[in-house]
C-alpha cells in the first residue's frame, strides 16, 4: 500500500477547497449576470409576433438591464402571469402599473411618465361620464385594473379580453359598447383592426396611472438595485423613452 505524505494530503485538501470555491463562485457569478425580465403583453409596450418580441417597454427594459451589467432574458406575458412570477421570484423585474396585491412582493424602483386610461366607443355611443356606462357592456383586459369606480360598479357589464385587439374586434362587431385601456394602446389596436380615429366618439378619461420599474423582493439581494435605479434615471434623461415612442407610435 502506497503511503501518502502529510504535505501531499494538505496540498490535495487545499486544491479541493479552491476547486469547490471556484465552482461556487462561477455559479454565483452566472446568476448575477442574468436577469429575468417580464414585459406586459400589450401593444405597443410588449409585442410578440412570429416568435419575435419587441415594444416600447420591452426595448426599454432590455436597455436598463444591459446597462446595469446583466444579460437579459425577457418574455412578453399577460398581467396575471407576470404578477405570479414577481411573487414567486421567477421574474426579477418588470415595467407596469402598481397593484395592491404586489405591494408586499416588489420594490418600486423608478416611475415612468403617466398614461391616460380611457373608455372609448364608436360614434353614436355617447359616453360623457362613467354614469353613461351603466347597463352597457365594456371590453376589459383580463388581469388589468384601469378604474376602481368602474371595477366596483356592478351595473357595468365587463367582458374580459386577452388583449386590446380582441376588445376592438368585439367593438367593431357590436358585441360591446366600449373598450377601456391606455389611449395609445387602444388607438394602436384600432388601427390594427382597420378603424380610423374618425369612427370613434370622444374618449372619456377615467384614470391616469403611472407605470413603475419594479423588482421582485426575492431578487433584491441578487440585483444591484441602487445601480439599476441610477441607470433608469440616466436612460430616461437622455430621451430613450421618447425615441422608443417615436419608433413604435410615430409620436
Nearest partner of 189 among 76, 74, 47, judged by Cα: 47
Helix axes 183-192, 164-172, angle to 10 degrees: 60
Indicate the angle between helix axes 240-249 and 56-67, nearest 10 degrees: 150
- Percent of the chain past pLDDT 70, that is, above it, reads 87
Sequence-ordered strand ranges (E) for 55-92: 71-77
Task: Render pLDDT for 36-67 as a digit per residue (tens, 0 to 9).
Answer: 999 999 989 999 998 999 999 999 999 999 99
> How far apart, in whole angstroms, are the C-alpha atoms of residue 231 and residue 13?
44
Average pLDDT over residues 218-230: 91
SS3 of 6-50: the string is: HHHHHHHHHHHHHHHHHHHHHHHHHHHHEEEEEEECCCCCCEEEC
Rounded to two decimals, what is the model's pTM?
A: 0.79
CB 216, CB 87: distance < 8 Å: yes
Q: Helices H, strands E: what count in the chain?
A: 8, 12
Q: Quick one: pLDDT at residue 155?
A: 97
Give the CB-side neighbour count of residue 113, counting CA atoms within 13 A: 11
- Angle (CA) 61-212-149 rounded to 5° is 135
Residue 108 has pLDDT above 50, yes or no: yes
Q: Which domains does the chain have, with CATH numbers?
A: 12-113+212-249 (3.40.190.10), 115-209 (3.40.190.10)
Amino acid at each position: 500500500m502506497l503511503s501518502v505524505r502529510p504535505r501531499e494530503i494538505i496540498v490535495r485538501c487545499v486544491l479541493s477547497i479552491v476547486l469547490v470555491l471556484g465552482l461556487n463562485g462561477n455559479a454565483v457569478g452566472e446568476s448575477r449576470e442574468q436577469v429575468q425580465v417580464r414585459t406586459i403583453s400589450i401593444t405597443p409596450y410588449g409585442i410578440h409576433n412570429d416568435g419575435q418580441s419587441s415594444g416600447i417597454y420591452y426595448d426599454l427594459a432590455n436597455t436598463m438591464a444591459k446597462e446595469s451589467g446583466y444579460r437579459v432574458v425577457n418574455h412578453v406575458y399577460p398581467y396575471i402571469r407576470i404578477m405570479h412570477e414577481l411573487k414567486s421570484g421567477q421574474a426579477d423585474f418588470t415595467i407596469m402599473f402598481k397593484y395592491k396585491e404586489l405591494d408586499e412582493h416588489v420594490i418600486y424602483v423608478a416611475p415612468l411618465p403617466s398614461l391616460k386610461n380611457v373608455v372609448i366607443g364608436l360614434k353614436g355611443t355617447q359616453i360623457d361620464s362613467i354614469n353613461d356606462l351603466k347597463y352597457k357592456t365594456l371590453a376589459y383586459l383580463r388581469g388589468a385594473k384601469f378604474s376602481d369606480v368602474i371595477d366596483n360598479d356592478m351595473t357595468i357589464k365587463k367582458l374580459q379580453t386577452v388583449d386590446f385587439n380582441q376588445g376592438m374586434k368585439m367593438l367593431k362587431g357590436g358585441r360591446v359598447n366600449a373598450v377601456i385601456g391606455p389611449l395609445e394602446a387602444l388607438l394602436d389596436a384600432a388601427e390594427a383592426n382597420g378603424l380610423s380615429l374618425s369612427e370613434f366618439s370622444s374618449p372619456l378619461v377615467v384614470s391616469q396611472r403611472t407605470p413603475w420599474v419594479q423588482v421582485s423582493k426575492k431578487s433584491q439581494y441578487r440585483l444591484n438595485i441602487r445601480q439599476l435605479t441610477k441607470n433608469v434615471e440616466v436612460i430616461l434623461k437622455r430621451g430613450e423613452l421618447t425615441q422608443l415612442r417615436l419608433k413604435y407610435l410615430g409620436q
